[in-house]
Amino acid sequence: MKETNGKQLCVLGLGYIGLPSASMFATHGFDVLGVDVSNDIVDTINRGEIHITEPGLATLAAAAVKSQRLRAALEPRPSDVFFIAVPTPVHGDHGADLTYVEQASRAIVPHLRKGNLVILESTSPPGTTVGVVQPILEESGLKGGVDFLLAHSPERVLPGQILRELIDNDRIIGGITPESAEEGKKLYETFVAGDILLTDATTAEMAKVIENTYRDVNIALANELSRICDTLGISAWDVIELANRHPRVNLHKPGPGVGGHCIAVDPWFIVQAVPEQSRLIRLAREINDEQPHYAVQVIESAIAGQESPKIAFLGVAYKANVDDTRESPALNIIQHFDKAGVPFSIFDPCVNRFQYPLAKTKEEALDGATCIALLVNHNEFATWDPAEIKPLMKAHAVVDTRNQLDLAQWRAEGFTTTLLGGKST
């Protein structure tokens, strides 16, 4: 472990990024205060427990709290370094909502001292560090880049693999001055094994949002391909597998839409900044936002001939093997059938709370169902045996929007199968 000089850190925002980062710094010898506006979250962490599900995090956070190097509170304190790791959602009109970033910056102002370093980790529209955070911090009377240092170091970790990626991923640090970036590097290199790449703050912000935009545009291409192949009566999944054998092609996967709080959000930060030049980015967003509606059409065709359809939806998380349902396309799909008055049940082995009631067991969810609609490729669903499922259901249709099930096996048991972007049988 590198020398940490007993530095005091303050992490504002104890969510999916702030809590793992705070725990990581604490277990690497820093004295960390985690700050959150929620009493419940503060109490939970101070008990040595956590409020989110992420592999390995409960153990790491508990160890950090036990060692007394991590403590949570509602207010910041004077520290050597402040991290801002709060959400940056979008408004209904797709503009970035920087309220939490502004509030966190304001909360730091009374505690800011000469020589401090402030790092914005929240994904932000290009220009936020220099144009929003710096002016607020300067309300302290101190000057950015002279009296205090300021940098943007975007989080890039994948939910479900956060702890490993916090260590292994390369990390970008964009300073408002070169010294700001250099000081940030000294901090992160205590646990980051990947390369640490230094740049300016606005370039770092753009690098982060274009990473997620790259993925969004590629998923839009895959979703468009799924509709094209359905129209042509061929399988997009076969096409993708074959095309990806080319050494320079990496087609993404179609699905019921793009969820989560990052990929469906960040591209709008670019569109907002330079709308007239962001045509492809905007179109990809629109294609992905339409995809839940396309999934609805695929499910509707599967139940079209059924007398009294009842759908069992499998999976409401925004992606496989996580408990997070934010921006999940499953919600739009289920809301459609709710409005249409089609009876349904919902089962998700990873999720405890959702906008609609969840069945506790798969037996409860499948009881009397006529059609399974798999919306998320949780590992568990691939282990289901259609021979065991069949007697629980009243009729036997299955729609797979993720290419997760071995549909030949389901067909062999007498199910009518539909694969989004595949061939119906």
Query: Measured at the alpha carbon of residue 351, what is the angle toward residues 345 and 355, in degrees to the nearest 5?
Result: 60
Find the catalytic residue in 262, 319, 350, 362.
Answer: 262
Tokens 């359905």 — which residue? 230
Rounded least distance, CB 130 to ligand SAJ, Å:
21
Q: Does 155 bind ligand SAJ (CB under 6 A)?
A: yes
Q: Which residues of 220-243 are buried (b: 16+ CB within 10 A; e: fewer)?
A: bebbbbbbebbeeeebbbebbeee
Cα 356 from chain centroid (whole Å): 21
89 close to 54: Cβ distance less than 8 angstroms: no
Q: Does 344 bind ligand SAJ (CB under 6 A)?
A: no
Q: Does 158 bind ligand SAJ (CB under 6 A)?
A: yes
Q: Does 315 bind ligand SAJ (CB under 6 A)?
A: no
The DSSP secondary structure of 261-324, one letter per residue, reads SSTTTHHHHHHHHSGGG-HHHHHHHHHHHHHHHHHHHHHHHHHTT-SS--EEEE--SSSTT---
Of 318-337, which residues contact ligand SAJ (CB under 6 A)? 318-319
Alpha-carbon gap, residue 84 to 279, rounded angstroms: 31
Q: Count the site residues for ligand SAJ by CB under 6 A.
A: 20
Alpha-carbon gap, residue 319 to 148, rounded angstroms: 40
Whether 371 is a known active-site residue: answer no
- Tokens at residue 169, please? 């991923």
Q: Does 173 bind ligand SAJ (CB under 6 A)?
A: no
Compare residues 355 and 361 and give the one whose CB is closer to ligand SAJ. 355
Find the catalytic residue in 7, 185, 208, 310.
Answer: 208
Q: Does 215 bind ligand SAJ (CB under 6 A)?
A: yes
Of 232-271, which residues contact ligand SAJ (CB under 6 A)? 252-253, 255, 258-260, 262-263
Whether 66 is a known active-site residue: answer no
Binding-site string for ligand SAJ from residue 105 to residue 134, where x marks contact by CB under 6 A and - marks none: ------------------x-----------
- The catalytic site residues sit at 208, 262
Binding site for ligand SAJ (CB under 6 A): 123, 155-159, 211-212, 215, 219, 252-253, 255, 258-260, 262-263, 318-319
